[in-house]
Amino acid sequence: MSWQKEWIEVRGHRVYLERFETDSPLLVVLLHHGLGSVQAWRAQMDFLTSQGIPILAYDRWGYGQSDDRAQLDPPFFEEDVQDLEAIVSQLAKPLVLVGHSDGGNIALTYASRQPENLRGVVVIAAHIYFEPKMASGMQELIRSYQENEVFQKSLHRVHKGKPVFERWFQAWTQLGMDWDMRRILSSISCPVFVVQGSEDEHATIQHALDLTKALPNGRVQILEGVNHMLPQKAAGIFNPLLSEALMEFQKGNQYVQ
């Protein structure tokens, strides 16, 4: 078993990547949320590596220690999906994608296109259409950013001075209200475990239920009293659920609705 920490060239830009290798038959790829980085997964990385599960996590283009970029392209995140495809294209092991928020959107888009080497997907608090709670959640978040100097300094430190918040906020608020990802979900053949907190600031419980309903092979778990930052704030609850999902994927179990 070994850790690798490196920068790799991906489609003309550098991406910072961390990888833990073992003999386990699956590789878990962790896709961070919209203001996050590899650091956001530390609780999951420690938990999974302690079980001997191989993982790959990276700062997406424009985040953390990876190169800067001009703009984001939600909700399908075409550039990020192409980066993901390039990063995993040479990997021999079957994959499990674990995506939080924007990372969940990326995982879903990838799964709709590249099912061949994918055993399963875990999606935490992803967004598949606009609902009013998203707008109020965004406004509350920008107020927090403007008024909370500690929050600002933390993002500045993690992302090496890149204007991550401003870029992310602009991309989502300019998207409009008529977008909907459900049209691509029916093509996802692998099992997808959908997780959301009941107190998510950016989505209602119905959002997670609609996501699961649109999937051929979906299962949903609502965690009571948990907010949008579920992997970070409720790791003690989420990590065992993640471990259970990985065991089901490894066995080839399918979800039946």
Q: State in words which class domain 2-251 has.
A: alpha beta
| Cross-strand bridge partners of residue 5 | 18
State whether residue 124 is helix, strand or coil.
Answer: strand
Which residues are within 8 A (CB) of 47 and not within 5 positions of it... i.e. 6 or more apart? Answer: 235, 239, 242, 243
Mean pLDDT of 239-251: 93
Amino acid identity, residue 144? S
Cis peptide before 75 (omega within 30 of 0): yes
Rounded CA-CA distance 10/175 in Å is 26
- Asked whether residue 256 carries a pLDDT value surpassing 70, the answer given is no
Rounded CA-CA distance 79/72 in Å is 8
- Asked whether residue 91 carries a pLDDT value surpassing 90, the answer given is no
| Cross-strand bridge partners of residue 8 | 15
Residue ranges covered by each domain of the chain: 2-251
In 10 A of CB 169, how many CB atoms? Answer: 18
Q: What is the pLDDT of residues 53-81, one digit of tens each?
A: 999 999 999 999 999 999 999 999 999 99
What pLDDT does 228 receive?
A: 96
Amino acid identity, residue 135? A
What pLDDT does 241 receive?
A: 97
Q: What is the pLDDT of residues 12-44, one digit of tens each?
A: 999 999 999 888 888 999 999 999 999 999 999
